[in-house]
Amino acid sequence: MNVKTPLLLALAASLLALAGCPPKKPRTISVRDVSRASGAPEISGIVDLGRRGIIKEAVFEIAGGDGHGVVGEVLLIQGDNFGKQPTTTIGDQPATFLGHVSTGGILVRVPWGIDAGKVKVEVANHRGRSSTTYVIKRVVVVTDGAHAQLLDLDGKGRLAKRGAAIDVAGAGVVGVSTSGGTAFVAGARAKLTFIALPTGKVVREKQMPGKRVVAITTAADRPLSAVITDTHVTFLDERNPARVALYTAQRLPKAVVDGKPISATLSPDGNRLAILLAEGNKLAIFDAKKPQSLPEPKLVDALPDARLSVGVGVRFSADSKTAWVLGGDTARSISGGRQPTRLATIETAAKPPAVGAPRGITPPGAPLAVCVARGEPTPPGTSIRRAPASRSALYASLAPPELLADKKVAGKGRIVRAEPGKPFAQVASGDWLLAGIDVAGKTQVIVGVGVRTSATGAGARIAWTRAAWNDDAKAQVIELGAAGKDPLAGDVRAQP
């Protein structure tokens, strides 16, 4: 026998053994272990990992994704020659770099603010750049008093259910973290449920101090959220998107508690917290630069000429300078007669805060919800009107005044838009009432949750969406089920 035969047989056996072994799992590695780029990057593929964070210099699973990315999700960009300090943009927005991978790729997080749809993904280094396209969707969270339902919003404004509804007793107010990776759902007796996006997995439950959650608000440009109950405020530290931490809860001053908080908002820069009070329509403005210790607030009359409790909601403008306060018919005021629907602006940076004259909305309606986009809209195309250059617009959902007077969920609902220095504009109207609305994306897509209506009353519960700045756009509606005992229960929040 040839002496080389045993060697060949051994080599063949080794190759067969290797062929049967599973490939090594990728791991994040230090930049010290990454070679310098010898040329332009080469993207070979993109994998969504279905997770919000990555542990540095550790093995991770390529699993959990569904073939497209969502805001806040970690993507593995596979390829070669990325170099030590690559930069990545997704949808023309910078993506957060999370680390290098032993298999030659890089990990990044999908940035907020981009539009859903097929977007450009580009990696660049000092030697050149490489690009491809990838589908990004936006997750929308809606509640109905008993459940939280995740929805996918695609690039054409269409909604689709993402998995089964999540049981959350008393599910009402909802918020989404700055990065878009976590949803916060307020339940019965002020219990807060943390839901990982996009998986829908409940990762934590926390009992908040107080009897009920009034608002959950997020700063657009700072990793900070706040949960406001009837008696306390608790700030959430989101510097680690995969593990949101809670600051110690702080009791609200007696004047604020006695004033009965009904709405709250953080400024986009996270430096101010404004809480609207039912009693006297006052606005409590806190300095929130140090969330571990709130000073005493400034109290201002947001609607000084109102005799009744007509405050509905408060939101900050995109430049963090102005608080918008919406007022009108409420369950607290309807016994005193019909009230005008109006919007007041408070310049919170002024000393003292300056309250502008309220602007009336005609025809009036019963305000149900209010929202402001997190960033500047950039509508494409010449047929779409330009949004304000320095402040994003405010949107309000209105119901017929008869809703409160006759306690009948019927008639046509409206969405109106307010811009500084311009008359109110009606964006949409139809046989529906939207109890909650939000707006997201560069081109500003409105999403809402509510019920269909007719002359006789409420119909099915729906999720509703439409492009905000395109007059020719048609609304997309999907049914979520029966309306239930309280047709206008629940809330909606979209990933930013």
Q: What is the pLDDT of residues 193-212, one digit of tens each?
A: 999 998 999 999 999 999 99
Q: How confident is the model at residue 145 (pLDDT cuts 50, 70, 90)?
A: very high
Q: What are the angstrom distances between the C-alpha of 29 and each of 34, 51, 123, 332, 427? A: 8, 18, 19, 59, 50
C-alpha 289/C-alpha 346 separation (Å) is: 19
The candidate with the shortest Cα–Cα distance to 92, out of 442, 330, 353, 459, is 442
Q: How confident is the model at residue 267 (pLDDT cuts 50, 70, 90)?
A: very high
Strands (E), 168-281: 174-176, 182-186, 191-196, 202-207, 213-218, 224-229, 232-237, 245-246, 250-251, 261-266, 272-277
Residue 7's SS3 state is: helix
Q: How confident is the model at residue 38 (pLDDT cuts 50, 70, 90)?
A: very high
Residue-wise pLDDT tens digits, 219-250: 989 999 999 999 999 999 999 988 999 999 99
Q: Do the strands 128-143 and 69-70 form a parallel or antiparallel pair, or are they unpaired?
A: parallel
Whether the pLDDT of residue 108 is over 50: the answer is yes
User: Per mean pLDDT, which range of 208-212, 238-242, 252-256, 366-370 is the poorest?
Assistant: 238-242
Identify the structural domains of the chain with CATH numbers, from first to last.
Answer: 19-135 (2.60.40), 137-494 (2.130.10.10)
Q: How confident is the model at residue 392 (pLDDT cuts 50, 70, 90)?
A: low
Position 28: which residue type?
T
Q: Do the strands 298-301 and 282-287 form a parallel or antiparallel pair, or are they unpaired?
A: antiparallel
Provide the CB-side half-sphere exposure for 251 (13 A, CA).
4
Average pLDDT estimate for 63-69: 85
C-alpha 274/C-alpha 288 separation (Å) is: 10
Residue whose structure tokens are 């709405």: 263
Q: What is the DSSP string of 61-82?
A: -S-S--SSEETT-EEEEEEE--
Whether the pLDDT of residue 177 is over 70: the answer is yes
Question: Do residues 314 and 302 touch, judged by C-beta distance below 8 A?
Answer: yes
Q: Do the strands 311-316 and 322-327 form a parallel or antiparallel pair, or are they unpaired?
A: antiparallel
C-alpha 339/C-alpha 365 separation (Å) is: 9
C-alpha 88/C-alpha 109 separation (Å) is: 10
Residue 1: predicted pLDDT: 43
Q: How confident is the model at residue 23 (pLDDT cuts 50, 70, 90)?
A: low
Residue 25: predicted pLDDT: 82
Q: What is the CA radius of gyration of the chain?
A: 25
C-alpha 215/C-alpha 198 separation (Å) is: 22
C-alpha 114/C-alpha 440 separation (Å) is: 9
What average pLDDT is seen over the chain?
89
Question: Do residues 38 and 127 touch, judged by C-beta distance below 8 A?
Answer: yes
Residue 257: predicted pLDDT: 98
Residue 143: predicted pLDDT: 97
Average pLDDT estimate for 144-157: 94
Q: Which token pair is 100?
A: 């290098």
Give the rounded distance of the alpha carbon of 383 from its chain centre: 27
pTM above threshold 0.85: yes
